Amino acid sequence: MSQFKLSNLIAATYTPLNADGRLNLQQVGPLVEHLLGSGVTGLYVCGSTGEGMSLSCEDRRSVTDAFVTAAAGRVPVIVQVGHNSLDDAKQLAAHAQQVGADAISATCPSYFKVGTVGGLVDSMAEVASGAPELPFYYYHIPMLTGSKIDMVPFLTEGVARIPNLVGLKYTDTALHEFQECFELQDGRFDVVWGCDEMLLGALATGAQAAIGSTYNIAAPLYARLIEAFEKGDLQEARRLQGLSIQMIRTINLYPFHPAMKAVLKMKGIDVGGCRLPQGKLTAEEAKSLQSKLQSIGFFDWS
Ligand code: MN9
């Protein structure tokens, strides 16, 4: 279990929806083929990007089944099972294990904030025990959960209590904390970077894998960035990261995930809009987003 490591670019997958907001599982296959064809090396299902928190548990199970089936063992599938109800989270974890997912991950509860390292370890021990055979990644995303627990003591205390704890999905911008987690106990933890617009900084700090939403629409750009970094061509790596920053800034002029889903449609994969409260872009918004992306050359370099 402690040997389990993710590598390269893992897409935080979008959940395909119909116009009425129901699941459109027919589109999972085409989405997965698009992702694997663009060089993605893993799928992170039902996270922030996949609107896990906006889906019922039944929907989350159906989405998990569909992605595990579509991936067919070609790349690892990590299922995000976090929930305000730890009992539901634990049951989602058990389901992921039962249907053959490769790993689980969970945010902490966020309505009642987790205030201490001990409270976080207790909560995650509960969730991870639902899938004892699968590697577990805590999903650290303080901007959304509101829980700013220090990840260094969480890992050292957590590993003693959570036998399947292998690492983190680290979605924060504190590179120094990321590095510390990464280097802890001779690098035993798999700490995966989650902030696409800072991938270069994370690579410089030692990152081996990243999970993110924009790998759905621009994996080849990031693959070139990684290649340039590995060759020591920092100027080129910076130029490519600059394009990603420009792309994200443009998409952020609109509600982010609905806009990302609109971009996937522009690339030929119709995954619908988002559920409320995020909603969807109007046809006019989608058109203006497309022309802004055209003007920065996105469709040529992504
Ligand atoms: O965790 C994503 N974060 C959120 C992953 O969705 C909040 C990231 O991939 C961001 O979407 C990305 C763009 O800001 O870095």
CA 287–ligand 1 middle distance (angstroms): 23
CA 266–ligand 1 middle distance (angstroms): 20
Read off the pLDDT of residues 88-135 as tens digits, 9 standing for 90 and up: 999 999 999 999 999 999 999 999 999 999 999 999 999 999 999 999
Read off the pLDDT of residues 193-228 as tens digits, 9 standing for 90 and up: 999 999 999 999 999 999 999 999 999 999 999 999
Domain for residue 287, yes or no? no
CB neighbour class for 231 (10 Å; exposed up to 12, middle 13-18, buried from 19): exposed
Give me the pLDDT at residue 184, please. 97
Over residues 69-91, mean pLDDT: 98
CA 257–ligand 1 middle distance (angstroms): 9
CA 124–ligand 1 middle distance (angstroms): 22
> Distance (Å, rounded) from C-alpha 297 to C-alpha 239?
14
Atom of ligand 1 nearest to the CA of 48: 6
The verdict on whether 44 is a catalytic residue reads: no
Atom of ligand 1 nearest to the CA of 212: 9
The DSSP H or E segment spanning 222 is helix 215-231
Read off the pLDDT of residues 230-253 as tens digits, 9 standing for 90 and up: 999 999 999 999 999 999 999 999
Q: What is the 3-state secondary structure (H, E, C) of 119-171?
A: HHHHHHHHHHCCCCCCCEEEEECHHHHCCCCCHHHHHHHHHHHCCCEEEEEEC
Determine what percent of the chain is predicted with pLDDT higher than 70. 99
Q: What domain count does the chain have?
A: 1
Distance of alpha carbon 180 from the chain centroid = 21
User: Does the beta carbon of 92 sit less than 6 angstroms from any atom of ligand 1?
Assistant: no
User: Does the beta carbon of 194 sit less than 6 angstroms from any atom of ligand 1?
Assistant: yes
Domain for residue 265, yes or no? no
Domain for residue 106, yes or no? yes
For a pocket test of ligand 1, which of 44, 171, 200, 253 has the largest count of ligand atoms closer than 8 A to its C-beta? Answer: 171
Q: How big is the CA angle at 58 (ends 211 and 16), to the nearest 5 degrees?
A: 50
Q: Which of 90, 169, 261, 280 is catalytic?
A: 169
Give the range of the structural domain holding residue 125, as residue numbers without chain letter. 8-233
Domain for residue 299, yes or no? no
> Which residue owns the Cα nearest ligand 1 atom 13?
196
Asked if pLDDT for residue 2 goes beyond 80, the answer is: no
Asked if pLDDT for residue 18 goes beyond 80, the answer is: yes
Q: The domain that contains 171 carries what CATH number?
A: 3.20.20.70
Length of the chain (residues)? 302
> Which residue owns the Cα nearest ligand 1 atom 5?
212
Domain for residue 144, yes or no? yes
> Distance (Å, rounded) from C-alpha 122 to C-alpha 272?
38
Domain for residue 281, yes or no? no
Confidence at 3, pLDDT banded by 50, 70, 90: confident
In contact, 52 and 82? CB cutoff 8 Å: yes
Give me the pLDDT at residue 252, please. 98
> Which residue owns the Cα nearest ligand 1 atom 11?
213
The verdict on whether 169 is a catalytic residue reads: yes
CA 13–ligand 1 middle distance (angstroms): 11
In contact, 244 and 220? CB cutoff 8 Å: no
Over residues 34-61, mean pLDDT: 98
Domain for residue 241, yes or no? no
Over residues 139-148, mean pLDDT: 96
Q: For all residues of the chain together, what is the average pLDDT?
A: 97
Over residues 268-295, mean pLDDT: 98
Asked if pLDDT for residue 139 goes beyond 70, the answer is: yes
Domain for residue 82, yes or no? yes
User: Does the beta carbon of 216 sit less than 6 angstroms from any atom of ligand 1?
Assistant: no
Give me the pLDDT at residue 150, please. 97
Atom of ligand 1 nearest to the CA of 196: 15
Give me the pLDDT at residue 251, please. 98
Helix axes 86-98, 57-71, angle to 10 degrees: 30
Rg (the chain; Cα; Å): 18
> Distance (Å, rounded) from C-alpha 263 to C-alpha 286?
8
In contact, 67 and 13? CB cutoff 8 Å: yes
